[in-house]
């Protein structure tokens, strides 16, 4: 990133059949950010069979097609992004108001990568407790639902997401960022959907996510992580 290059954000949203959520999110992003600071919103589709891409176009986002797999989709979005800062966001997660200003301020202060704290759209006590730990700046407390900002310069230096990971791609990538250039957790909160917990059962899903963390720490391959996910967690 050149010293005099203006800081602009490219928002990258990977989707797969997110028509139910995407329009609301895109409207929220436009209404809760400054146009001058957000260069573009790129919606990267992994093979949706619903109207996700039509909705992206309707709301002025850039529609982009990719092979299925969130790591591949986010890498493809990053490749075409023209902003100096990349902001990766899940389709069921809403960033805080003025998120763009918070991100730009962090980058100006020398933070090349980071995320927000998180809370769920649920009053479940276990999910509230889980979300509390997102304020702790340690890689074990990170996940893609917290969203991720990173300068384009650091993106290139880090080689992006590892596409051999079908799941766990966010956590693996952020773990590398902690080692490479440090990581900032901003005090504001994103609001993310608890839909997967509602579908699979909160305690059951927390247990299986914990097991995925554990077997990864024990050296499991990306394929083994994906096999565990397919066996124990509904798609």
pLDDT score, position 2: 53
pLDDT in tens, 64-122: 999 999 999 999 999 999 999 999 999 999 999 999 999 999 999 999 999 999 999 99
Q: How high is the mean pLDDT of the chain? A: 94
- For residues 172-188, one letter each, b for 16 or more C-beta atoms within 10 angstroms of the residue's C-beta and e for the rest, the string is bbbbbbeeebebbbbee
HSE (CB half, 13 Å, CA atoms) of 156?
8
pLDDT in tens, 8-42: 999 999 999 999 999 999 999 999 998 899 999 99
Q: Domain 9-193 belongs to what topology?
A: Spore Coat Polysaccharide Biosynthesis Protein SpsA; Chain A (3.90.550)
pLDDT score, position 35: 82
Q: Is the pLDDT of residue 234 over 70?
A: no
pLDDT in tens, 140-181: 999 999 999 999 999 999 999 999 999 999 999 999 999 998
* Tokens encoding 164: 């051999």
pLDDT in tens, 52-68: 999 999 999 999 999 99
| Rounded CA separation 31/24 (Å) | 11
pLDDT score, position 3: 57
- DSSP string covering 169-182, please? HHHHHHHHHHHHH-
Q: What percent of the chain has pLDDT over 70?
A: 97
pLDDT in tens, 188-227: 999 999 999 999 999 999 999 999 999 999 999 999 999 9
Cβ-proximal residues to 133 (8 Å cutoff; 6+ apart), any chain? 141
The structural domains of the chain, with segments of one domain joined by +, span 9-193, 196-235
HSE (CB half, 13 Å, CA atoms) of 183?
28
Cβ neighbourhood burial of 145 (10 Å; 0-12, 13-18, 19+): buried
pLDDT score, position 27: 97
- Give the pLDDT band of residue 6 (cuts 50, 70, 90): confident
């Amino acid at each position: 990133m050149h010293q005099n290059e203006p800081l602009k954000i490219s928002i990258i949203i990977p989707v797969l059949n997110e028509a139910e959520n995407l329009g609301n999110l895109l409207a929220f992003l436009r209404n809760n950010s400054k146009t001058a600071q957000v260069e573009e919103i790129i919606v990267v589709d992994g093979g949706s069979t619903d109207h996700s891409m039509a909705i992206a176009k309707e709301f002025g986002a850039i529609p982009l097609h990719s092979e299925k797999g969130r790591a591949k989709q986010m890498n493809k979005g990053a490749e075409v992004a023209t902003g100096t800062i990349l902001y990766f966001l899940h389709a069921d997660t809403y960033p805080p108001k003025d998120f763009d200003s918070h991100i730009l301020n962090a980058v100006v202060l020398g933070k090349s990568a980071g995320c927000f704290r998180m809370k769920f759209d649920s009053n479940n006590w276990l999910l509230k407790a889980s979300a509390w730990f997102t304020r702790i700046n340690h890689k074990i407390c990170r996940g893609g639902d917290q969203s991720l900002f990173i300068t384009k310069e650091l993106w290139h230096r880090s080689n992006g997401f590892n596409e051999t990971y079908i799941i766990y791609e966010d956590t693996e990538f952020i773990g590398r960022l902690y080692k490479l250039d440090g990581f900032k957790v901003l005090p504001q909160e994103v609001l993310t959907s608890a839909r997967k917990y509602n579908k699979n059962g909160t305690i059951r899903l927390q247990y299986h996510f914990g097991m995925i963390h554990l077997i990864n720490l024990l050296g499991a391959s990306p394929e083994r992580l994906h096999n565990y996910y397919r066996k124990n967690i509904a798609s």
